[in-house]
Amino acid sequence: MKKITDDDLVLVYYGEHSDADLVRRVAEDPQLTNRLAVLSEQLSALDVAMEPPSRSSDYGAEVWQKLVPTLADQGPARKPWSSAWLKPTAAFASVLAAIGVAFILGRQTAPVADSISNPPQLASSVNSGRVLASYSASYLQQMDVLLTGLANQSAPADINTWAAEMLLKNRVVRVAAENAEQHRLAQLLRELEPLLIELSHETAVASPRVRQRLQTEAQDTWLLRVRVMQSELATQPNKTSGLSI
Amino acid sequence: METLELKLIKKAQRGDRMAFRQLVMEHSERVFRLAWRLMGSEDAANDVVQDSFLKAWTRLDQFDYRAQFSTWLHRITVNTAMDALRKQSSRSKYEAPELEREPMGERSACPAETADLRKQMQVAMKSLTEVERAALMLRHFEGHSIAEISALLKINGSATKQAIFRAVRKMRETLTPLTEQEGYSQ
How far is residue B171's CA from residue B124's CA, in Å, rounded to a whole number?
6
Q: Mean pLDDT throughout B172-183?
A: 64
Number of H helices, E strands in chain B: 8, 0
Cβ contacts of residue A245 below 8 Å, gap of 6+? Answer: A20, A23, A24, A27, A110, A111, A112, A113, A126, A172, A175, A176, A179
How far is residue A156's CA from residue A165's CA, in Å, rounded to a whole number?
14
How far is residue A36's CA from residue A155's CA, in Å, rounded to a whole number?
28
- Chain A residues within an 8 Å CB radius of B68: 90, 217, 221
Angle between helix A132-151 and A208-217 (nearest 10): 130
How far is residue A184's CA from residue A94's CA, in Å, rounded to a whole number?
9
Q: Write the DSSP symbol of residue B128.
A: S
Estimate the share of chain B in helix, then strand, then coil, as percent rounded to the nearest 5. Answer: 75, 0, 25
Provide the number of structural domains found in chain B.
2
Does the pLDDT at position A40 exceed 70?
yes
- Identify whether residues B47 and B117 lie together within a single domain: no
B158 touches chain A (CB under 8 A): no
B173 touches chain A (CB under 8 A): no
Domain that includes residue B15, residue range: 1-92
Q: Would you tell me which residues 87-126 of chain B have a C-beta closer than 8 angstroms to some C-beta of chain A?
A: 97-98, 101-108, 114, 117-118, 120-121
Does the pLDDT at position B57 exceed 60?
yes
- Identify whether residues B77 and B126 lie together within a single domain: no
ipTM above 0.85, yes or no: no
- Identify whether residues B26 and B62 lie together within a single domain: yes
How far is residue B39's CA from residue A137's CA, in Å, rounded to a whole number?
40
Residue contact B58–A45, C-beta within 8 A:
no
Smallest CA–CA separation between B91 and chain A, in Å?
A: 24
- Identify whether residues B3 and B84 lie together within a single domain: yes
In a domain, B98, yes or no: no
Which chain B residue's Cα is nearest to A220? B3
Task: List the single residue in B66, B104, B137 with the smallest CB-CB distance to A203.
Answer: B104
- Identify whether residues B21 and B85 lie together within a single domain: yes
- Identify whether residues B151 and B186 lie together within a single domain: yes
User: Among the listed ranges A189-193, A220-224, B48-52, B108-112, which one has the minimum average pLDDT value?
Assistant: B108-112
Within 10 A of A61 (CB to CB), how many other CB atoms are there?
14
Smallest CA–CA separation between B129 and chain A, in Å?
A: 16
Q: Of B23 and A208, which is predicted with more confidence?
A: B23
- Identify whether residues B116 and B76 lie together within a single domain: no
- Identify whether residues B116 and B52 lie together within a single domain: no
Q: Of A31 and B121, which is predicted with more confidence?
A: A31
Q: Would you tell me which residues 3-42 of chain B have a C-beta closer than 8 angstroms to some C-beta of chain A?
A: 3-6, 10, 12-15, 17, 20-21, 24-30, 32-33, 36-37, 42
Q: What is the pLDDT of residue A169?
A: 82
- Identify whether residues B44 and B83 lie together within a single domain: yes
Does the pLDDT at position B181 exceed 60?
no
Q: What is the pLDDT of residue A59?
A: 93
Of B92, B127, B143, which one is at a domain's C-terminal end?
Answer: B92
Give ∠ CA A68-A69-A75 in degrees, rounded to 5: 75
Residue contact A203–B176, C-beta within 8 A:
no
Question: What are the tens digits of pLDDT across the range A175-190?
Answer: 888 887 888 888 899 8
- Identify whether residues B76 and B1 lie together within a single domain: yes
Q: Of B183 and B60, which is predicted with more confidence?
A: B60
8 Å CB contact between B165 and A7:
yes
- Identify whether residues B46 and B122 lie together within a single domain: no
Model confidence band, residue B80 (pLDDT cutoffs 50, 70, 90): very high
Optimal mutation site among B1, B10, B28, interface A, most CBs of chain A within 10 A = B28
Q: What is the pLDDT of residue B106?
A: 41
Question: What are the tens digits of pLDDT across the range A118-176?
Answer: 444 443 443 444 567 777 887 888 888 888 888 877 777 677 778 888 888 888 888 88
Nearest Cα residue to B3 out of A240, A29, A88: A88
Average pLDDT, chain B: 81
CATH of the domain at B17: 1.10.1740.10
Model confidence band, residue B19 (pLDDT cutoffs 50, 70, 90): very high
Does the pLDDT at position B182 exceed 60?
no
Q: Mean pLDDT throughout B108-125?
A: 70
CATH of the domain at B139: 1.10.10.10
Which chain A residue's Cα is nearest to B109? A48
Q: Write the DSSP symbol of residue A218.
A: I
Question: What are the tens digits of pLDDT across the range A83-115?
Answer: 333 333 333 333 334 333 333 333 333 333 444
Cβ contacts of residue A180 below 8 Å, gap of 6+? Answer: A107, A108, A109, A110, A132, A243
Task: Give the global pTM.
Answer: 0.64
Q: What is the pLDDT of residue A108?
A: 34
Of B64, B92, B120, which one is at a domain's C-terminal end?
Answer: B92
Q: Is A181 left (phi over 0), alpha (psi -120 to 50) or beta?
A: left
Model confidence band, residue B95 (pLDDT cutoffs 50, 70, 90): low
Of B67, B92, B117, which one is at a domain's C-terminal end?
Answer: B92
What are the domain boundaries of chain A?
A: 88-234
In a domain, B33, yes or no: yes
